[in-house]
Structure 1
């Protein structure tokens, strides 16, 4: 059976999902997409019965990074291997190729909290998980009891205390480089918590208007504020992340920022990886997967092969 690999670019609001990964009886991002694909391709009927198609195939997605329950994604990437004959059948009466036909049908069936940004044939050697060069996450905080924008309530952590960003950035700097993040993460079965962090920094978003011009330039003297104005945002970029790693690092940095822990304590947790009660994850709603980056097409297969190797320090 000849298969075609498709690259799927996605965004989703994680608030209504039990994470990315398919779980029996629970609403997950992967589960919703695969169910929609099954309905489109005839692998499963709308009443849940398996069809008796001549092609035995069940859609299975491979994702760049499995997000936890409540974590959002503004740009997630997955791949799907689909039989050519099944893809061709998606055309129906549409005068377009199978990939575009599947994209249109999938957009029609997906729930409102999942957005299909694009679907296309993947280049040779592409693997959504193993070919990725880096992932970028952002964590958004409203600190100091600042009244939050109610439109952002599902994407921002409200914090009563005020944060010392200088101390937090000193701590975050300890993350950069190749480290065992065992104090802040759990390994997958057979895996490690060794990761290479390329950037980690806290910033205060300036209060600016949406259009970036002075109010007197407006006909009515008012311009709407940028929704993220005044928020404190953590940006972290790494080749990959272990389970709960970002949220646990954020929680530890905030403890430092509130003066409850020292930068030295944080540094010691990096130097001596040991999971214990003081380094658990913070609330999921402030976390968003913002971007997944890949190398040029001619380096995809090489990257995938290299990243599959078990890491050591």
Structure 2
């Protein structure tokens, strides 16, 4: 819940049943990640996907394609996660506007289905997304973190200059190879378009990062935050932050901050279903930067999303 996300067709996040006579649903999901071993299904572990699938199967029986906008790591939260799932049309029509109420009674209290609608079958929660927005909260007060926010806020032991951090982070905007901030994987690109990286204090004085990109690679958001904090507390200068884009490999001196301060806030899609297929094709392209040798276009996703 950091990249273009993972899922459909890669065998890692899909949960596929018999799709005959189905309707595709778009579900909005929120969860407190503290007690989950991440989003993705993992044998013997409690995950968000396992709880959501269990609830859907109780209501619909066998479900079809189950694809999420972005898999989040253990401890990462979400208020705006999106998934799609194919369900039997007859059972969907019978439930209708009672679906959220029924899911409320089945799901555990740390995960909620907050919206549900039938969509065109061309909708793909992963590949049709235009961008994903994350929030990361950091408290640098001498006394620590508000006890009521301890599960979604990182306690930082040094005072930080938020304005300095914000200014430094603007040098990272645009399309770059973010390998310095990512855990790269063989055969997967680390080229991403960072569209927004802002720092500001909220009404309680907590430093809040807002990070938006078309997609993220593994550990990218938490690495971006860790690098900015090194600038904010004076251990590094602004030039060091920008230089990470040029090293061509994972930066060993970039600290990956803890997952609990991170929340997936929003995933954006076009409101026009006609745009979804075009976006799917664009997302699945092989990414290169200007000056790179052009390779053949293949139907392969970028690095799976983990935050």
Tell me the TM-score normalized by structure 2: 0.82
Quick check: 1:125–1:300 contact (8 Å CA) kept in 2? yes
* Corresponding residue to 1:185 among 166, 182, 185: 182
Quick check: 1:37–1:59 contact (8 Å CA) kept in 2? no
Residue 284 of structure 1 is matched in structure 2 by: 259
* Corresponding residue to 2:168 among 167, 171, 192: 171
1:312 Cα deviation from its structure 2 partner = 1.1
**SS of equivalent to 1:163:** coil
Which 5+ residue runs of structure 1 have no aligned equivalent?
Answer: 43-56, 91-95, 207-228
1:259 Cα deviation from its structure 2 partner = 1.4
Confirm or deny that 1:112 pairs with 2:109: yes
Moved more, 193-202 or 120-129: 120-129
Confirm or deny that 1:26 pairs with 2:45: yes
1:277 Cα deviation from its structure 2 partner = 2.5
Quick check: 1:38–1:59 contact (8 Å CA) kept in 2? no
**Inter-partner Cα distance in structure 2 for 1:161 and 1:141:** 11
**SS of equivalent to 2:208:** strand
Structure label with greater radius of gyration:
1
**SS of equivalent to 1:277:** coil
Residue 131 of structure 1 is matched in structure 2 by: 128
Residue 304 of structure 1 is matched in structure 2 by: 280
**Inter-partner Cα distance in structure 2 for 1:257 and 1:64:** 31
Quick check: 1:34–1:60 contact (8 Å CA) kept in 2? no
Q: How big is each residue's C-alpha offset from its partner over 1:158-210, in whole Å with a ceiling of 9 and x where there is no partner? A: 1121112233123211220001111111245642111101111110123xxxx
**Inter-partner Cα distance in structure 2 for 1:177 and 1:99:** 42
**SS of equivalent to 1:291:** strand
Residue 54 of structure 1 is matched in structure 2 by: none
1:256 Cα deviation from its structure 2 partner = 1.2
**Number of residue pairs matched by the alignment:** 269
**Inter-partner Cα distance in structure 2 for 1:302 and 1:237:** 21
Confirm or deny that 1:152 pairs with 2:159: no
* Corresponding residue to 2:201 among 198, 201, 204: 204
Return closer, same or farther for 1:119/1:189 CA change in 2, 3 Å cut-off: farther
Residue 4 of structure 1 is matched in structure 2 by: 23
1:146 Cα deviation from its structure 2 partner = 4.0
**Inter-partner Cα distance in structure 1 for 2:43 and 2:23:** 27
Q: How big is each residue's C-alpha offset from its partner over 1:247-286, in whole Å with a ceiling of 9 and x where there is no partner? A: 0110011011111122222111112231143124101111
1:58 Cα deviation from its structure 2 partner = 4.6
Which 5+ residue runs of structure 2 have no aligned equivalent?
Answer: 1-19, 290-307
Residue 3 of structure 2 is matched in structure 1 by: none
1:36 Cα deviation from its structure 2 partner = 1.7
1:104 Cα deviation from its structure 2 partner = 3.2
